[in-house]
Structure 1
Protein backbone atom coordinates (compact mmCIF):
# COMPACT_ATOMS: atom_id res chain seq x y z
CA UNK A 1 0.00 0.00 0.00
CA UNK A 2 1.21 3.46 -0.85
CA UNK A 3 0.77 6.18 1.75
CA UNK A 4 0.36 9.91 1.30
CA UNK A 5 -0.67 12.61 3.72
CA UNK A 6 -2.70 15.77 3.56
CA UNK A 7 -1.93 18.08 6.45
CA UNK A 8 -2.16 21.70 7.49
CA UNK A 9 -3.46 23.97 10.18
CA UNK A 10 -7.09 23.79 11.32
CA UNK A 11 -9.77 25.04 8.89
CA UNK A 12 -7.54 25.11 5.81
CA UNK A 13 -9.60 22.73 3.66
CA UNK A 14 -7.85 19.40 4.29
CA UNK A 15 -11.02 17.30 4.38
CA UNK A 16 -12.34 18.94 1.21
CA UNK A 17 -9.08 18.13 -0.59
CA UNK A 18 -8.98 14.55 0.72
CA UNK A 19 -12.58 13.98 -0.44
CA UNK A 20 -11.83 15.36 -3.90
CA UNK A 21 -8.69 13.21 -4.16
CA UNK A 22 -10.58 10.07 -3.11
CA UNK A 23 -13.14 10.77 -5.86
CA UNK A 24 -10.38 11.42 -8.40
CA UNK A 25 -8.36 8.29 -7.57
CA UNK A 26 -11.36 5.96 -7.35
CA UNK A 27 -12.66 7.27 -10.68
CA UNK A 28 -9.24 6.32 -12.10
CA UNK A 29 -9.73 2.76 -10.82
CA UNK A 30 -7.58 2.85 -7.67
CA UNK A 31 -8.74 1.52 -4.33
CA UNK A 32 -8.34 4.13 -1.61
CA UNK A 33 -8.68 4.14 2.16
CA UNK A 34 -8.32 7.10 4.49
CA UNK A 35 -7.17 7.73 8.03
CA UNK A 36 -8.14 10.99 9.73
CA UNK A 37 -6.54 12.13 12.95
CA UNK A 38 -8.76 13.94 15.43
CA UNK A 39 -7.30 16.05 18.22
CA UNK A 40 -10.48 15.86 20.24
CA UNK A 41 -12.60 13.17 21.79
CA UNK A 42 -15.12 11.77 19.35
CA UNK A 43 -17.66 9.01 19.27
CA UNK A 44 -19.05 7.33 16.19
CA UNK A 45 -21.56 5.56 18.38
CA UNK A 46 -24.77 6.87 19.97
CA UNK A 47 -25.56 6.80 23.69
CA UNK A 48 -28.46 4.47 24.33
CA UNK A 49 -27.73 2.23 21.32
CA UNK A 50 -26.92 -1.41 21.94
CA UNK A 51 -23.34 -1.11 20.66
CA UNK A 52 -22.74 1.92 22.89
CA UNK A 53 -24.06 -0.03 25.85
CA UNK A 54 -21.62 -2.86 25.03
CA UNK A 55 -18.68 -0.42 25.09
CA UNK A 56 -19.87 1.27 28.26
CA UNK A 57 -20.14 -2.15 29.89
CA UNK A 58 -16.44 -2.69 29.23
CA UNK A 59 -16.11 -4.46 25.87
CA UNK A 60 -12.59 -4.00 24.46
CA UNK A 61 -13.89 -4.01 20.88
CA UNK A 62 -17.34 -3.79 19.34
CA UNK A 63 -18.18 -4.39 15.71
CA UNK A 64 -21.37 -2.76 14.52
CA UNK A 65 -22.36 -4.52 11.29
CA UNK A 66 -25.05 -4.26 8.65
CA UNK A 67 -25.57 -5.28 5.05
CA UNK A 68 -23.88 -2.04 3.82
CA UNK A 69 -20.89 -1.60 6.18
CA UNK A 70 -19.29 -2.41 9.47
CA UNK A 71 -17.46 -0.32 12.02
CA UNK A 72 -14.91 -1.63 14.47
CA UNK A 73 -14.69 0.41 17.65
CA UNK A 74 -11.63 -0.33 19.74
CA UNK A 75 -11.58 1.20 23.19
CA UNK A 76 -8.19 2.67 24.07
CA UNK A 77 -9.25 3.84 27.52
CA UNK A 78 -6.02 4.40 29.49
CA UNK A 79 -3.63 3.07 26.83
CA UNK A 80 -1.42 5.40 24.81
CA UNK A 81 -2.86 6.68 21.53
CA UNK A 82 -2.08 4.24 18.73
CA UNK A 83 0.69 5.25 16.37
CA UNK A 84 0.02 5.57 12.66
CA UNK A 85 1.72 2.25 11.68
CA UNK A 86 -0.56 0.37 14.09
CA UNK A 87 -3.62 2.00 12.54
CA UNK A 88 -2.43 1.32 8.99
CA UNK A 89 -2.03 -2.33 10.00
CA UNK A 90 -5.77 -2.47 10.70
CA UNK A 91 -6.65 -1.56 7.09
CA UNK A 92 -7.36 -4.03 4.32
CA UNK A 93 -4.90 -3.79 1.41
CA UNK A 94 -5.62 -0.97 -1.07
CA UNK A 95 -3.67 0.92 -3.71
CA UNK A 96 -3.43 4.16 -1.74
CA UNK A 97 -4.01 5.30 1.84
CA UNK A 98 -4.62 9.04 2.23
CA UNK A 99 -3.79 10.23 5.73
CA UNK A 100 -5.35 13.46 6.98
CA UNK A 101 -3.48 15.19 9.78
CA UNK A 102 -0.46 13.63 11.46
CA UNK A 103 1.73 16.69 10.74
CA UNK A 104 4.79 15.26 12.46
CA UNK A 105 4.69 11.71 11.11
CA UNK A 106 7.46 10.93 8.59
CA UNK A 107 5.33 9.90 5.58
CA UNK A 108 5.28 12.27 2.57
CA UNK A 109 2.51 14.83 2.56
CA UNK A 110 1.00 17.90 0.95
CA UNK A 111 0.17 20.88 3.11
CA UNK A 112 -3.10 22.69 2.52
CA UNK A 113 -2.26 26.33 3.16
CA UNK A 114 -4.30 29.52 2.99
CA UNK A 115 -2.45 32.76 3.56
CA UNK A 116 -5.50 34.52 4.97
CA UNK A 117 -5.65 32.24 8.03
CA UNK A 118 -2.71 34.03 9.71
CA UNK A 119 -0.26 31.15 10.28
CA UNK A 120 3.10 30.36 8.75
CA UNK A 121 3.26 27.39 6.36
CA UNK A 122 4.29 24.18 8.11
CA UNK A 123 6.31 23.44 4.96
CA UNK A 124 8.88 26.02 6.04
CA UNK A 125 10.10 23.72 8.82
CA UNK A 126 8.75 20.22 8.11
CA UNK A 127 10.84 18.18 5.63
CA UNK A 128 8.08 15.57 5.13
CA UNK A 129 5.94 18.14 3.31
CA UNK A 130 6.68 17.65 -0.38
CA UNK A 131 4.25 20.22 -1.86
CA UNK A 132 1.74 22.89 -0.90
CA UNK A 133 -1.85 23.14 -2.12
CA UNK A 134 -3.16 26.68 -1.86
CA UNK A 135 -1.51 30.06 -1.97
CA UNK A 136 1.72 30.97 -0.22
CA UNK A 137 2.81 34.33 -1.67
CA UNK A 138 5.67 35.95 0.16
CA UNK A 139 6.97 32.65 1.57
CA UNK A 140 10.19 31.26 0.20
CA UNK A 141 9.07 27.65 -0.17
CA UNK A 142 11.33 24.97 -1.63
CA UNK A 143 8.28 22.80 -2.44
CA UNK A 144 6.05 23.12 -5.50
CA UNK A 145 2.80 25.04 -4.92
CA UNK A 146 -0.43 23.89 -6.61
CA UNK A 147 -3.72 25.76 -6.81
CA UNK A 148 -6.01 24.18 -4.23
CA UNK A 149 -8.65 23.40 -6.85
CA UNK A 150 -6.24 21.71 -9.32
CA UNK A 151 -7.12 18.21 -8.20
CA UNK A 152 -5.68 16.54 -11.31
CA UNK A 153 -2.25 18.14 -10.80
CA UNK A 154 -2.22 17.38 -7.07
CA UNK A 155 -3.27 13.78 -7.74
CA UNK A 156 -0.55 13.37 -10.40
CA UNK A 157 2.04 14.69 -7.95
CA UNK A 158 0.87 12.24 -5.28
CA UNK A 159 0.94 9.30 -7.71
CA UNK A 160 4.52 10.12 -8.65
CA UNK A 161 5.69 10.78 -5.09
CA UNK A 162 3.76 8.23 -2.99
CA UNK A 163 5.79 5.61 -1.14
Structure 2
Protein backbone atom coordinates (compact mmCIF):
# COMPACT_ATOMS: atom_id res chain seq x y z
CA UNK A 1 0.00 0.00 0.00
CA UNK A 2 1.55 3.34 -1.01
CA UNK A 3 1.72 6.30 1.33
CA UNK A 4 -1.00 8.86 0.68
CA UNK A 5 -0.66 12.61 1.08
CA UNK A 6 -3.61 14.87 0.51
CA UNK A 7 -3.03 18.17 -1.26
CA UNK A 8 -5.86 20.37 -0.07
CA UNK A 9 -6.96 23.94 -0.45
CA UNK A 10 -9.75 26.01 -1.86
CA UNK A 11 -10.41 26.39 -5.58
CA UNK A 12 -7.93 28.83 -7.09
CA UNK A 13 -5.27 28.27 -4.44
CA UNK A 14 -2.83 26.63 -6.87
CA UNK A 15 -3.07 22.94 -6.02
CA UNK A 16 -2.80 21.76 -9.63
CA UNK A 17 0.02 24.18 -10.44
CA UNK A 18 1.96 23.00 -7.40
CA UNK A 19 1.39 19.35 -8.33
CA UNK A 20 2.69 20.01 -11.86
CA UNK A 21 5.91 21.36 -10.37
CA UNK A 22 6.17 18.70 -7.65
CA UNK A 23 5.85 15.65 -9.90
CA UNK A 24 9.15 16.08 -11.77
CA UNK A 25 10.87 17.27 -8.57
CA UNK A 26 9.77 14.14 -6.70
CA UNK A 27 10.65 11.90 -9.67
CA UNK A 28 14.17 13.41 -9.65
CA UNK A 29 14.40 12.28 -6.00
CA UNK A 30 13.50 8.72 -7.02
CA UNK A 31 9.91 8.86 -5.75
CA UNK A 32 7.34 7.07 -7.93
CA UNK A 33 4.17 9.17 -7.64
CA UNK A 34 0.59 8.69 -8.76
CA UNK A 35 -2.15 11.31 -8.47
CA UNK A 36 -5.83 10.88 -7.72
CA UNK A 37 -7.89 13.95 -8.61
CA UNK A 38 -11.32 14.07 -7.03
CA UNK A 39 -14.26 15.95 -8.49
CA UNK A 40 -17.59 16.71 -6.87
CA UNK A 41 -19.18 16.85 -10.32
CA UNK A 42 -20.14 14.10 -12.75
CA UNK A 43 -17.31 13.76 -15.23
CA UNK A 44 -17.40 12.53 -18.80
CA UNK A 45 -13.95 11.40 -19.91
CA UNK A 46 -15.01 9.60 -23.04
CA UNK A 47 -16.07 11.29 -26.28
CA UNK A 48 -19.51 10.83 -27.79
CA UNK A 49 -19.37 8.80 -30.99
CA UNK A 50 -16.09 7.02 -30.21
CA UNK A 51 -16.15 3.22 -30.09
CA UNK A 52 -15.30 3.17 -26.39
CA UNK A 53 -18.18 5.57 -25.65
CA UNK A 54 -20.55 3.42 -27.68
CA UNK A 55 -19.42 0.22 -25.89
CA UNK A 56 -19.93 1.83 -22.48
CA UNK A 57 -23.34 3.22 -23.43
CA UNK A 58 -24.31 -0.23 -24.71
CA UNK A 59 -23.73 -1.69 -21.25
CA UNK A 60 -20.07 -2.60 -20.77
CA UNK A 61 -19.13 -2.16 -17.09
CA UNK A 62 -15.59 -1.21 -18.06
CA UNK A 63 -13.95 -0.24 -21.34
CA UNK A 64 -10.18 -0.06 -21.67
CA UNK A 65 -8.62 1.94 -24.48
CA UNK A 66 -5.02 0.95 -25.19
CA UNK A 67 -2.33 2.49 -27.38
CA UNK A 68 1.43 2.01 -27.57
CA UNK A 69 1.86 5.04 -25.27
CA UNK A 70 -0.92 4.93 -22.66
CA UNK A 71 -4.19 3.39 -21.68
CA UNK A 72 -7.40 4.62 -20.19
CA UNK A 73 -10.07 2.73 -18.31
CA UNK A 74 -13.64 3.98 -18.35
CA UNK A 75 -15.84 2.39 -15.73
CA UNK A 76 -19.38 2.92 -14.56
CA UNK A 77 -19.88 2.84 -10.80
CA UNK A 78 -22.99 2.53 -8.68
CA UNK A 79 -21.35 4.59 -5.92
CA UNK A 80 -18.23 6.63 -5.37
CA UNK A 81 -15.17 4.45 -4.82
CA UNK A 82 -13.58 4.51 -1.38
CA UNK A 83 -10.00 5.72 -1.17
CA UNK A 84 -8.79 2.13 -0.74
CA UNK A 85 -10.71 1.11 -3.87
CA UNK A 86 -9.22 4.03 -5.80
CA UNK A 87 -5.69 3.14 -4.71
CA UNK A 88 -6.23 -0.55 -5.55
CA UNK A 89 -6.76 0.45 -9.21
CA UNK A 90 -3.37 2.18 -9.42
CA UNK A 91 -0.09 0.58 -10.41
CA UNK A 92 2.39 0.19 -7.55
CA UNK A 93 4.05 3.45 -6.51
CA UNK A 94 5.74 5.05 -3.51
CA UNK A 95 3.36 7.95 -3.00
CA UNK A 96 -0.19 8.85 -3.98
CA UNK A 97 -0.93 12.55 -4.02
CA UNK A 98 -4.63 13.07 -3.51
CA UNK A 99 -6.03 16.34 -4.87
CA UNK A 100 -9.39 16.98 -3.30
CA UNK A 101 -11.27 14.92 -0.72
CA UNK A 102 -9.96 17.34 1.93
CA UNK A 103 -12.22 15.94 4.67
CA UNK A 104 -10.59 12.50 4.69
CA UNK A 105 -8.59 11.73 7.85
CA UNK A 106 -5.11 11.51 6.34
CA UNK A 107 -1.93 13.58 6.24
CA UNK A 108 -2.36 16.72 4.16
CA UNK A 109 -0.32 19.52 2.64
CA UNK A 110 -2.46 22.65 2.54
CA UNK A 111 -2.06 25.06 -0.36
CA UNK A 112 -3.07 28.41 1.09
CA UNK A 113 -3.30 31.87 -0.43
CA UNK A 114 -4.45 34.48 2.12
CA UNK A 115 -5.44 36.80 -0.76
CA UNK A 116 -8.33 34.44 -1.63
CA UNK A 117 -10.02 35.46 1.62
CA UNK A 118 -10.84 31.87 2.55
CA UNK A 119 -10.25 30.44 6.04
CA UNK A 120 -7.07 28.45 6.63
CA UNK A 121 -7.64 24.71 6.84
CA UNK A 122 -4.60 24.15 9.08
CA UNK A 123 -6.39 26.08 11.85
CA UNK A 124 -9.15 23.46 12.05
CA UNK A 125 -7.73 20.26 10.52
CA UNK A 126 -5.24 18.39 12.73
CA UNK A 127 -4.21 16.24 9.72
CA UNK A 128 -2.49 19.19 7.97
CA UNK A 129 1.24 18.51 8.34
CA UNK A 130 2.48 21.59 6.44
CA UNK A 131 1.24 24.64 4.54
CA UNK A 132 2.52 25.83 1.18
CA UNK A 133 1.79 29.55 1.15
CA UNK A 134 2.60 32.56 -1.03
CA UNK A 135 2.79 35.04 1.87
CA UNK A 136 4.35 35.19 5.34
CA UNK A 137 2.30 33.02 7.68
CA UNK A 138 2.44 31.86 11.27
CA UNK A 139 1.08 28.38 11.78
CA UNK A 140 1.53 25.46 14.13
CA UNK A 141 2.99 23.38 11.28
CA UNK A 142 5.88 24.01 8.88
CA UNK A 143 5.20 26.78 6.35
CA UNK A 144 6.73 26.25 2.91
CA UNK A 145 7.12 28.70 0.05
CA UNK A 146 4.39 27.87 -2.44
CA UNK A 147 6.61 29.20 -5.23
CA UNK A 148 9.56 26.92 -4.34
CA UNK A 149 8.56 23.47 -5.55
CA UNK A 150 12.04 22.10 -4.80
CA UNK A 151 11.69 23.02 -1.11
CA UNK A 152 8.19 21.53 -1.00
CA UNK A 153 9.51 18.36 -2.68
CA UNK A 154 12.32 18.19 -0.12
CA UNK A 155 9.76 18.42 2.69
CA UNK A 156 7.58 15.70 1.14
CA UNK A 157 10.56 13.40 0.50
CA UNK A 158 11.67 13.82 4.13
CA UNK A 159 8.16 13.23 5.41
CA UNK A 160 7.81 10.21 3.13
CA UNK A 161 11.00 8.61 4.42
CA UNK A 162 9.70 9.10 7.98
CA UNK A 163 6.28 7.71 7.04
CA UNK A 164 7.91 4.63 5.50
CA UNK A 165 9.61 3.89 8.83
CA UNK A 166 6.39 4.28 10.83
Question: Is TM (by shorter chain) over 0.5?
Answer: yes
Secondary structure of residue in 2 paired with 1:62? strand
Query: For 1:104 and 1:84, how far apart are their aligned partners in 2?
Result: 12
Q: Runs of 4+ in structure 1 displaced over 6 angstroms? A: none
Query: For 1:160 and 1:107, how far apart are their aligned partners in 2?
Result: 17
What is the deviation of 1:21?
0.8
Query: For 1:140 and 1:96, how far apart are their aligned partners in 2?
Result: 28
Tell me if 1:144 matches 2:145: no
Any gaps of 5 or more consecutive residues in structure 2?
none
What is the deviation of 1:2?
2.1
Q: In the TM superposition, what whole-angstrom CA distance separates every residue of 1:82-118 from its partner, at most 9, and x where no partner exists? A: 1111101111111221111110112211110111111
Secondary structure of residue in 1 paired with 2:53? helix
Tell me if 1:11 matches 2:9: no
**TM-score normalised per structure 1:** 0.91
Aligned length: 160
Query: For 2:95 and 2:123, how far apart are their aligned partners in 1?
Result: 26
Query: For 1:160 and 1:140, how far apart are their aligned partners in 2?
Result: 21
Relative to structure 1, is the Cα distance of residues 72 and 92 closer, same or farther in structure 2, using a 3 angstrom cutoff? same
Any gaps of 5 or more consecutive residues in structure 1?
none
What is the deviation of 1:136?
5.9
Query: For 1:33 and 1:71, how far apart are their aligned partners in 2?
Result: 15
Q: Is residue 134–residue 147 contact of structure 2 (8 Å, CA) maintained in 1?
A: no
What is the deviation of 1:141?
2.3
CA RMSD, 1 decimal: 1.5
Partner of residue 37, structure 2: 36
What is the deviation of 1:135?
3.9
Alignment of 1:81-160 (within 5 A): 81-135=80-134, 141-160=139-158
Query: For 1:101 and 1:85, how far apart are their aligned partners in 2?
Result: 15
